[in-house]
Amino acid sequence: MAYTAVPGVRVPIRMWTDPATVEGQAMQQLRNISSLPWISGLAVMPDVHLGKGATVGSVIAMQGAVCPAAVGVDIGCGMSAVKTSLTARDLPDDLSRLRSRIEEAIPVGRHGHDDPVDPRRLHGLPTAGWDDFWQRFDGLAEAVKFRRERAHSQMGSLGGGNHFIEVCLDTDGAVWLMLHSGSRNIGKELAEYHIGIARYLPHNQGLVDRDLAVFIADTPQMAAYRQDLFWAQEYAKHNRSLMMALLQDTVRREFRRTKVAFDQVISCHHNYVAEERYDGQDMLVTRKGAIRAGSGEYGIIPGSMGTGSYIVRGLGNTAAFNSASHGAGRKMSRNAAKKRFTADDLAAQTKGVECRKDSGVVDEIPAAYKPIEKVIDQQRDLVEVVAQLKQVVCVKG
């Protein structure tokens, strides 16, 4: 579909969904974003829903400013996926052992590794720049200096909430590995630290929503945030790379007789800031719940733990700032889902998937999310579908 332009305060709100279907609070958030003095453009993806600080599914282009709450607290959160040489015929009927082996290799929830993972022991994982990355930890905000040990142990771990690791099948029966995670606790603490600073800067005192406080160019606060932001985005990318390498090693061991091969890994952030140029102007583009979908660029748009996911290729639509949705998007809050559904409902909606089916993950029930097929259909001018996947194993924190 082509976008619908909704009047905003300073810029129109370009929406790749029916505005009438967007909850009132989310629409107000979008109007608040459109009122920021520094904004150059605002695009809204079909998975849009109310977010903390800023709307999930928003792409915000600014000149000389960035809003840390519009990035979110899971800086650099994103997806990785890889196609394997395995097929459905190679998988055992009982997938519980494979799920257990994955959970043994990759800590979930708040846990980290007992000993930090040495990337040099993982098959085929590039390690260039690894030492430099960790040396730059000393330049981060003073508030997180004591978190080095925890950041090391959580590198290569999943986290909780909507983060997951999956084994999937595409429509041709090929096996894919896919995972979703971000910058873990270190990214959260860096985000909260800088959001707290931004709220009290003089230029933010007249904003309609203090959660939309920004840093502006050529200030020490902006310089400090950019340094920590880009480091955390790099942490998230390394975290997914380590997990994918651990996941591939686990699959190799489980299918050692098959000599499993892997294609090139596809990886993308969906909570991050990028320096990009549009209409001859340099901009800071914030994607919160959105992926970059430049022409020919591969991306991943997952559904819920009982539906499907899509591998896509970007069409380079500059009206959307070369973006697409990051997933199906919630249609129900976590608390509402817990009140409405039971573990039995979860078991019914995840039938055929080897996964947790207990009350601890009821808030991730498929019915709490928008239909992924409709979300994909609403952005046919943003991406083209390369592969459609359906999970057979799903690991949650």
Please write the tens of the pLDDT for every residue from 1-23: 689 999 999 999 999 999 999 99
Model confidence band, residue 125 (pLDDT cutoffs 50, 70, 90): confident
**For helices 184-199 and 220-254, angle between their N-to-C axes, nearest 10 degrees:** 160
Mean pLDDT, the chain, rounded, equals 96
| Distance, CA of 353 to CA of 7 (rounded, Å) | 43
Burial class (CB within 10 angstroms; exposed 0-12, middle 13-18, buried 19+) of 149? exposed
Assess if CATH 3.90.1860.10 describes domain 75-266+292-331+369-396.
yes
Tokens at residue 258, please? 């098959």
Numbered residues of the known binding site: 74, 162-166, 180, 270-271, 302-305, 309, 326-329, 396
pLDDT tens, residue by residue, 314-363: 999 999 999 999 999 999 999 999 999 999 999 999 999 999 999 999 99
Are 355 and 99 a contacting pair, CB within 8 Å? yes
| Distance, CA of 106 to CA of 46 (rounded, Å) | 32
Which residues, listed in sequence order, are joined to residue 59 by a DSSP beta bridge?
43, 287
194 catalytic residue (yes or no): no
**Domain chopping of the chain, boundaries:** 75-266+292-331+369-396
- The predicted pLDDT at position 349 comes to 97
Numbered residues of the known binding site for GMP: 162-166, 270-271, 302-305, 309, 326-329, 396
- The predicted pLDDT at position 123 comes to 85
Which residues, listed in sequence order, are joined to residue 84 by a DSSP beta bridge?
262
Instruction: Provide φ and ψ at 338, rounded to 5°.
Output: -65, -35
pLDDT tens, residue by residue, 132-151: 999 999 999 999 999 999 99
